[in-house]
Homo-oligomer: A and B are copies of this chain.
């Protein structure tokens, strides 16, 4: 099935580039209320399901045992920008569990935030703490400690921590996650491909705590609340997920993943959203997510103006001149 063009990148008088994609909006019973493109093909959710991957942290008692704060729980669900307080938070999580930065197995990369990268360059080189996934990995390590198992291989598919993660993902999405849909993520943990329809259903359940056990619903509520209360720790300065959760508070949970994935939960509407841009472009995926939120969430005039700026941002060049804009196609408007 051919996915429709959802985003056009306008430069001057012409469309310069185009992005196709698919979108699912589901209620917590799995009924699809808005659909564009192919919802049945399995897609790798990558970091968009970090909040589900972090659930064992609460369910296995690690969050309580190590007295993790809301900031630290948000970091466990984060693709953070590697800013100073992100890095300090991850170090704190590790220390609380009696672990060291060298226990992280996510690999090192430069901070996403340019200013943070420049600061790291001035004092040395990036470490695994700066990896955008370091909070998730610190969370996995805390779970391994709470389980009392060897933590060295916490990232491998056969490790008890990843077994728990897979079981959570299956419970929320209703998808069977076997080897035929399993690949390795950028940070080396497994990523299992799931149809957008199932991801949207899973995030509707995540938002309202229905269709899962009462105990799991309480754990989810605690984790979701940590993210929407401390959205800076889920991404960082000027990032889409942070900006949207700062704008809407507990009315929207949203999380990006690599290769053009976004998932969201709208608890008051009982809805979940999952989308993927075919070509993996984040610039298009976030515009699509903003447009879908604008469609399904009741908004004040100022909220509408803010979300529309995210859906159709102006593009400026190195001199700050306006050179074009992101434009939604009719399919999304």
Q: What residues of chain A have their CB less than 8 Å away from a CB belonging to chain B?
A: 9, 11-14, 16-20, 42-44, 105-110, 114, 117-119, 121-122, 125, 131, 179-188, 191, 193, 259-260, 278-281, 284, 317-321, 323-324
Contact = CB atoms under 8 A, between A and B. Distances in A.
Contacts of A181: 13-14
A83 B105 CA distance: 31
Contact of A121 (B44, B117, B183): B117
A323 B184 contact: yes
Given A114-B110, A279-B281, A185 B317 contact: yes
A317 B187 contact: yes
Nearest to A107: B318
Contacts of A188: 317-319, 321
Contact of A317 (B119, B184, B280, B284): B184
Nearest to A118: B121
Contact of A18 (B119, B278, B317, B320): B278
Nearest to A17: B280
As for how many copies of this chain the complex holds, the number is 2
A240 to B, nearest CB: 19
Nearest to A133: B318
B318 A17 contact: no
A128 B278 CA distance: 35
Nearest to A119: B121
A274 to B, nearest CB: 15
12 contacts: A12-B182, A12-B183, A16-B43, A16-B280, A17-B260, A108-B318, A183-B323, A185-B317, A187-B317, A188-B318, A279-B284, A281-B281
Nearest to A280: B17
B17 A324 contact: no
Contact of A13 (B20, B108, B182, B281): B182
A201 to B, nearest CB: 20
Contact of A184 (B9, B43, B118, B321): B321
A179 B14 CA distance: 11
Contacts of A122: 121-122
A77 to B, nearest CB: 19
The interface centre, meaning the residue of A105, A121, A323, A324 with most chain B CB atoms within 10 A of its CB, is A121
Given A187-B317, A188-B321, A180 B13 contact: yes
A318 B106 contact: yes
A285 to B, nearest CB: 11
B183 A11 contact: yes
A188 B267 CA distance: 45
A144 to B, nearest CB: 18
A16 to B, nearest CB: 5
A274 B110 CA distance: 34
Contacts of A13: 179-183
